[in-house]
């Protein structure tokens, strides 16, 4: 009797391309044993075209090698439950629009799949750590998904006042978030400073277009990793959230993402106006000592020349025009071309359909105030600071309000930094965010607003005693809560991480941050007149305080974007 294995054996040799007897193991075994598994753990019989695929189990995870439409992606194990892929998503000549990569390439011409990309050019780093060729991203893919899974994607845009930061910043390992939310996480880099916003001939918003290029790249490749290109949420913190807001104001970018998350966006600044950008551009050109049309001069500029001029613009932009601000003199420009709306109270607010999630932290201004004033300040000095910073009549209206009144103590030792920090938090972050939420909800969109009452001290804040004391939640202290990267979380922090990631999971899938069948408090959406800002880290909702629509943002105390008409 002829065995089935003897019939299959010659067929197997043909299918494997063998021309002489082969041994699948070094030691003598039966053919049945020889046919059991390939090095990848799949039966060799499954290589035969007539063997039913139902009998041959397939891997449920893309693993560290994934075939994409633009080539094979090679990655590495990032954690116990996720893989990491570093990739160059685009390329751009200096002061030119970026182009989407049409082949899968590791960043910076690397051949090491475990290597991290160099940051975009910035003077905060050693030159060996950055490059102009920096349009890279890190993809974090949870194990257990297949190309048919169609999970959502969370694209994260780092902060850093548009002059610093990278995809490898502290706390931005997306593995834990990807696992907890069953999503693909993409942490993306973009051109910074003058390289991102200040071509000598006046063109701008290159950094905004870089993120659009990254999104187009994701549309091409994420289906291969198990992602659904119609379920991309863009998110960012601080200037990264400012970038998200800019993309919300770009009609041509709308198809690239379904929803947005804005954490600690300094909305008080507004976008730069075209006229102010022109002033800042003229100043930059004096720093590089090149006329706008002098291509020979411009082409001869070294990267150091550009970075030096960029730093000068950052340091002195507020002196060129007050609306430039001290923190973001290089930022998205309302050029009327790419960015067609101010998305603030200065111009008609456009109709919206996307769900957004907005959050701030309790002490956004903590680092700025307590690093500037390292010792307690008196009530009289507080009056001088407010008068100088806000000018009349805003200063007088602020000082006469009950919201920021410095208490009179028996020993006269009240530290007015408390009120100054609260005022800065309300002015730059909290109150304009609430105004934005009301505008968004009043024009068709859904907006969920949160306030972090608990956080994890971010590395930038460890040198600021105020930010390390119990009860403080400073700017950036939400990052490691969202990503689940806090090194030694307390039970309360662990519970908050679990809750926030569950809410983000629901938001990524449905546009609503209320997980089904959970015991968490209902997170209600804002309306055109009400902002029920949910406490994240404690129970209840935030008190309105100075964010009452009749106070900040009115003729009594206008936001900066209103004062400067931008």
Same-domain status, 175 and 256: yes
Same-domain status, 318 and 375: no
Strand-pair partners of 236: 157, 262
Same-domain status, 502 and 543: yes
Residue 344 lies in a domain: no
Residue 455 lies in a domain: yes
Same-domain status, 32 and 78: no
pLDDT less than 50: residues of the chain? 1-61
Do the beta carbons of residue 475 and residue 485 sit within 8 Å? Answer: no
Q: Is the peptide bond before 393 cis (omega within 30 degrees of 0)?
A: yes
Containing domain of residue 482, as a range? 355-563
Q: How many CA atoms lie within 13 A of 18 on its CB side?
A: 12
pLDDT of residue 60: 37
Q: What is the largest CA-CA distance in the chain?
A: 107
Same-domain status, 415 and 379: yes
- Nearest to residue 176, comparing CAs of 461, 497, 457, 459? 497
Same-domain status, 103 and 203: yes
Last residue of a domain, one of 34, 55, 76: 55
* CA distances from residue 522 to 14, 130, 507, 516, 525 in whole angstroms, order as listed: 63, 44, 13, 10, 10
Do the beta carbons of residue 534 and residue 416 sit within 8 Å? Answer: no
Residue 340 lies in a domain: no
Same-domain status, 36 and 140: no
Do the beta carbons of residue 565 and residue 273 sit within 8 Å? Answer: yes
Q: Which residues of 452-489 are buried (b: 16+ CB within 10 A; e: fewer)?
A: bbbbbbbebbeebebbeeeebbbbbbbbbbbbbbbeeb
What residue has token string 């009349």? Answer: 392
Six-digit token string for 263: 């954490």
Q: What is the CATH number of the domain that holds 529?
A: 3.40.50.1820
Residue 349 lies in a domain: no
pLDDT of residue 93: 97
Residue 348 lies in a domain: no
Six-digit token string for 148: 């048919």
Same-domain status, 125 and 248: yes
The number of distinct structural domains making up the chain is 3
Q: What is the DSSP string of 63-120?
A: TTEEEETTEEEE-EEEETTEEEEEEE-EE--TTS--EE-SS---GGG---TTPPPPEE
Cα torsion 555, 559, 564, 566: sign: negative
Same-domain status, 419 and 528: yes
Do the beta carbons of residue 70 and residue 103 sit within 8 Å? Answer: yes
Q: How many CA atoms lie within 13 A of 537 on its CB side?
A: 22
pLDDT of residue 34: 35
Strand 99-100 relative to strand 130-131, pairing: unpaired
pLDDT of residue 20: 36
pLDDT of residue 413: 73
* CA distances from residue 313 to 205, 253, 318 in whole angstroms, order as listed: 16, 29, 9
Residue 539 lies in a domain: yes
Q: Is 139 helix (H, G, I), strand (E, B) or coil?
A: strand
Q: Which residues of 307-319 are buried (b: 16+ CB within 10 A; e: fewer)?
A: bebbbbbbeebee
Do the beta carbons of residue 432 and residue 343 sit within 8 Å? Answer: no
Reported as a single tens digit per residue, the pLDDT across 92-106 is: 999 999 999 999 999
Number of residues that this document lists for the chain: 566
pLDDT of residue 62: 58
Contacts of 77 (CB under 8 A, 6+ apart): 64, 83, 84
Same-domain status, 50 and 74: no
* CA distances from residue 333 to 201, 328, 330, 457 in whole angstroms, order as listed: 15, 11, 9, 32
Same-domain status, 324 and 379: no
Last residue of a domain, one of 279, 301, 334: 334
pLDDT of residue 7: 37
Residue 264 lies in a domain: yes
Last residue of a domain, one of 334, 364, 393: 334
Same-domain status, 115 and 18: no
Query: What CA–CA distance (Å, rounded) separates 458 from 439?
Result: 31
């Amino acid at each position: 009797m002829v065995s089935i294995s003897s019939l299959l054996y010659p067929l197997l040799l043909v299918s494997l391309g063998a021309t002489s007897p082969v041994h699948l193991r070094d030691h003598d075994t039966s053919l049945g044993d020889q046919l059991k598994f390939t090095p990848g753990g799949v039966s060799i019989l499954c290589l035969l075209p007539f063997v039913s695929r139902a009998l041959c189990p397939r891997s449920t995870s893309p693993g560290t090698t994934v075939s994409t439409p633009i080539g094979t992606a090679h990655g590495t194990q990032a954690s116990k439950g996720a893989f990491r892929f570093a990739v160059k998503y685009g390329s751009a000549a200096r002061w030119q629009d970026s182009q989407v990569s049409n082949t899968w390439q590791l960043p910076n011409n690397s051949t090491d799949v475990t290597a991290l990309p160099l940051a975009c050019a910035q003077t905060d780093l050693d030159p060996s750590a950055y490059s102009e060729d920096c349009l890279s991203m890190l993809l974090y893919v949870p194990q257990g998904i297949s190309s048919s899974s169609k999970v959502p994607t969370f694209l994260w845009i780092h902060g850093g006042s548009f002059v610093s930061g990278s995809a490898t910043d502290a706390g931005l390992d997306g593995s834990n978030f990807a696992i907890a939310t069953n999503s693909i996480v993409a942490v993306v880099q973009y051109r910074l400073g003058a390289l991102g916003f200040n071509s000598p001939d006046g063109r701008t918003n290159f950094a905004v277009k870089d993120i659009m290029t990254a999104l187009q790249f994701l549309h091409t490749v994420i289906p291969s990793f198990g992602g659904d290109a119609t379920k991309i949420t863009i998110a960012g913190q601080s200037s990264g959230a400012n970038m998200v807001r800019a993309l919300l104001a770009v009609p041509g970018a709308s198809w690239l993402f379904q929803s947005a998350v804005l954490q600690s966006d300094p909305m008080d600044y507004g976008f730069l106006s075209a006229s102010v950008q022109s002033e800042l551009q003229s100043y930059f050109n004096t720093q590089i000592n090149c006329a706008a049309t002098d291509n020979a001069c411009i082409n001869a500029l070294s990267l150091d020349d550009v970075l030096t001029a960029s730093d000068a613009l950052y340091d002195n932009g507020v002196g060129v025009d007050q609306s430039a601000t001290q923190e973001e003199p290089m930022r998205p420009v309302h050029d009327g071309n790419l960015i067609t709306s101010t998305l603030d109270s200065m111009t008609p607010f456009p109709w919206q359909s996307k769900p957004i999630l907005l959050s701030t932290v309790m002490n956004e201004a903590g680092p700025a105030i307590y690093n500037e004033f390292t010792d307690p300040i008196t009530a009289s000095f507080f009056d001088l600071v407010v008068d100088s910073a806000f000018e009349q009549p805003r200063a007088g209206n602020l000082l006469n309000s009950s919201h920021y009144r410095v208490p009179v103590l028996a020993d006269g030792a009240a530290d007015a930094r408390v009120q100054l920090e609260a005022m800065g938090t309300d002015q730059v972050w909290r109150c304009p965010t609430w105004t934005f939420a009301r505008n968004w909800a009043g024009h068709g969109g859904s907006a969920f607003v949160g306030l972090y009452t608990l956080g994890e001290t971010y590395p930038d804040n460890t040198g600021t005693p105020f930010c390390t004391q119990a009860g403080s939640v400073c700017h950036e202290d939400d990052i490691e809560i969202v990503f689940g990267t806090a090194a030694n979380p307390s039970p309360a922090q662990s519970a908050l991480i679990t809750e926030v990631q569950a809410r983000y999971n629901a938001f990524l899938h449905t546009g609503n941050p209320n997980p089904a069948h959970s015991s968490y408090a209902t997170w209600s959406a804002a309306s055109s007149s009400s902002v029920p800002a949910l406490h994240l880290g404690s129970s209840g909702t935030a008190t309105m305080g100075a964010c009452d629509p009749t106070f900040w943002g009115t003729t009594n105390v206008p936001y900066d974007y209103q004062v400067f008409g931008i």
